[in-house]
Structure 1
């Protein structure tokens, strides 16, 4: 997507670390079972180092990526009724 955006903010690292250590609500990182996705993420999914794109170009890359995921068996095509 073509365009520039700038956002500035201060991040309180100590407060973030405190939250991660103590929060019981909405602290889902410890519950993630990332090991089940290891094989899927061994190779890139979205091609890296692409130039900025408009929506149509990104849509073409998206379609190719979905086809690649289907060929690898990560995604399954809908049934043909």
Structure 2
């Protein structure tokens, strides 16, 4: 409100530019960051989940599988 930007209009422009709603973009961004961490660190899946903003490993695993079509533990195994 401080900048007088209409939220609905902003969401519409975002979707036209990125081809997906803000929430979907953020979910995908977080999962891609998690995939990078799983490939390049030895952090636990739980630690990775927390680092990318998930409160529980189970919700993270479900979101990861939804985007990547593979569980995070199996994904990591492919890169070790």
Higher relative contact order (CA 8 A, sep 6+): 1
**TM-score, normalised by the number of residues in structure 1:** 0.29
| Greater Rg over alpha carbons, structure | 1
User: Hey, which of these two has a bigger chunk of helix by percent?
Assistant: 2
